[in-house]
Amino acid sequence: MSAAVTDTARAGAARVAATRLMERCRALAKITEAPGQILRTFLSPAMDDVHRTMGPWMEAAGMVVAIDRAGNLRGLYGRADAPRLLIGSHLDTVPNAGAYDGVLGVLMGLALVEASGEQNYPFAIEVLGFSDEEGTRFGAPFLGSRAVVGELEGGLLECVDSDGVSVAQALRQYATQRPDAVEAKLSDRADAYLEFHIEQGPVLESRNLALGIVEGLAGQSRCNVEFRGVAGHAGTNPMKMRKDALAAAADWMTGAEAITKRFENAVATVGQIAAEPGGVNVIPGVVRCSLDVRHAEDGVRTALVQAIFDEARAVAMRRGLRVEAGQYHEHPAVRLAVELVALAERAVRNTGQATIRMTSGAGHDAMVIAPHVPSAMVFLRNPGGISHHPDESVAKEDVAAAIHMGLCFLDEFAAHESERGDKKRA
């Protein structure tokens, strides 16, 4: 059989698999803990229902299925002692979620196992359905992926949900109810992690591309900026004599926006603002603003945060106000594995499609796994960039493109693993 014929057959198989994957997304979207909307949280009965629904699908594909003690769904296809390719994403959701964020990446793993058929790869495939990525229940994200890399510890275990139950208590209760749960740990044989996810942004759609290759995840800074002016009567204080903290904040925000546009691929957002005393007829005396800054390079992000803080000081000086600005949280940028990223890019090209390299502005499980296992990520076009919303969608043709690409990735990865094996033996 010529390569072209094989590829046509593959494209056809990918289309059939995409139809099934879309049906499965819709079936899982019905499993919720809040009637009328999609909501699934860490260790909830709805997550158990998802496991009960997906488990038999995975077993039918020849996988050995287990739940681990952190509530992650795990399906192994191939020998337990073979090197492993991990394919995963998360099964939990935000409140009032869409049907594809997370779930699609887990079902992609299953679809690739099913579509690869009788291929004899020199590695096993482990599909991972993480129990928590969104942080909806405990306010702390990535609990599922953190557990498998041994980072679910310390202060994280003390986070409490709205009923006052801590992560540690929830995990203990889960373990007693499930004596057959396996240890939440990655295999020492895990050689690579691959995650498919909807883009959650408009870039691929604007470039008319089905798939994008993620080469890194942006680092984040969270900051507070507070302007202190003088509150006063809205009718009796002439404009020239005011120290209006809200007008200063507005001045600063448009300045910050202009500065950020000068830093290529940087994003900065003021998402919260509170003005005091907050009367319709009172000049605002104090204004507190949040500031979220992201970039793929930590040095660029740090420089941008400084430039935005400097702008706040310049505005305050010009207007005769005081300002305080500080960063209270940061997460460094994560670079994905150069070799695997190139391999994923080649896999897209092998299907005859164009692609681009991207930085993810959002956090994903790959961010947690990447420091431990070489990782790659593929984004699927997300119509309108709408996500974390019931209108979230993905086109079946793009899912087919991803499955086709995934099959080519498995071939490329098999060659890569054989080469590594040869090197080890040499």
Q: Please identify, using beta-carbon distances, which residue of 101 and 398 lies nearer to Zn ion.
A: 101
Instruction: Give CA–CA dist 151/247, Å, rounded.
Output: 44
Tell me whether residue 101 or residue 297 sits nearer to Zn ion (CB atom).
101
Largest CA distance in the chain: 87
Closest approach of Cβ 336 to Zn ion, in Å? Answer: 16
- Taking the least distance from each CB to Zn ion, the nearer of 38 and 270 is 38
Q: Are 315 and 255 in contact (CB under 8 A)?
A: yes
Q: Which is nearer to Zn ion, 116 or 360 (CB)?
A: 360
Q: Are 287 and 227 in contact (CB under 8 A)?
A: yes
How far is residue 423's CA from residue 338's CA, in Å, rounded to a whole number?
A: 19
**Closest separation between CB of residue 98 and Zn ion, Å?**
10
Cβ 198 to Zn ion shortest distance, Å: 8
Q: How far apart (Å, rounded) are the C-alpha atoms in residues 52 and 24?
A: 13
Question: In angstroms, what is the minimal distance from the CB of 197 to Zn ion?
Answer: 6
Task: State yes or no: residue 101 binds Zn ion (CB under 5 A).
Answer: yes
Residue pair 355/376 in contact by the 8 Å Cβ criterion: no
| 44 vs 351, beta carbon nearer Zn ion | 44
Among 83, 98, 102, 229, binds Zn ion (CB under 5 A): 102
Closest distance to Zn ion from the beta carbon of 322 (Å): 41
* Between 88 and 102, CB nearer to Zn ion: 102
Cis before 277? omega within 30: yes
Q: Which is nearer to Zn ion, 71 or 102 (CB)?
A: 102
Integer angstrom CA distances of residue 337 from 122, 214, 334, 344:
20, 10, 10, 11
Q: 242-271 mask for Zn ion (x: CB under 5 A)?
A: ------------------------------
**Closest Cα to residue 199, out of 180, 188, 212?**
212
- State the Cα–Cα distance between residues 387 and 263, nearest whole angstrom: 26
Binding piece for Zn ion, criterion CB under 5 A, among 67-75, 102-110, 220-228, 313-321: 102-110
* Binding residues for Zn ion restricted to 212-231, rule: CB under 5 A: none
Inter-residue contact 196 to 406 (CB < 8 Å): yes
- Given a contact cutoff of 8 angstroms between Cβ atoms, the answer to whether 312 and 325 are in contact is yes
Say which residues have a Cβ less than 8 Å from residue 415's Cβ, sequence separation at least 6.
none
Q: Tell me 183's DSSP state.
A: P
Smallest distance, Zn ion to C-beta of residue 274, A: 29
What's the CA gap between 284 and 351, in Å, rounded? 59
Identity at 364, one-letter amino acid code: H
Write the interaction track for Zn ion spanning residues 43-82; mark x where CB under 5 A is met and - where it is not.
----------------------------------------
Q: Please name every residue paired with 274 in a beta bridge, in sequence order, or none if there are none.
A: 288
Residues 6+ apart with CB under 8 A from 418: 122
Select from 374, 368, 375, 378 the least CA-distant residue to 148: 368
CB of 397: closest distance to Zn ion in angstroms?
A: 21
Q: Does 361 bind Zn ion (CB under 5 A)?
A: no
Nearer to Zn ion, 28 or 289 (CB): 28
The window from 41-49, 93-101, 217-225, 276-284 that contacts Zn ion (CB under 5 A) reads: 93-101
Gap between the Cα atoms of 59 and 55, Å rounded: 6
Sequential DSSP letters for 120-136 = --SSEEEEEEES-SS-T
Only one of the segments 101-109, 148-156, 219-227, 299-307 lies at the binding site for Zn ion (rule: CB under 5 A); that segment is 101-109
CB of 337 to Zn ion, least distance (A): 20
Shortest Å, Cβ 193 to Zn ion: 15
C-alpha 134/C-alpha 413 separation (Å) is: 30
Distance of closest approach, residue 99 Cβ to Zn ion, in angstroms? 12
The nearer residue to Zn ion, 101 or 114, going by C-beta atoms, is 101
* Contact window for Zn ion (CB under 5 A) among 95-103, 221-229, 311-319, 352-360: 95-103
Whichever of 17 and 94 has its CB closer to Zn ion, that residue is 94
Q: How many residues bind Zn ion (CB under 5 A)?
A: 2
Binding segment (CB under 5 A) for Zn ion, from list 11-19, 37-45, 75-83, 97-105: 97-105
Binding site for Zn ion (CB under 5 A): 101-102
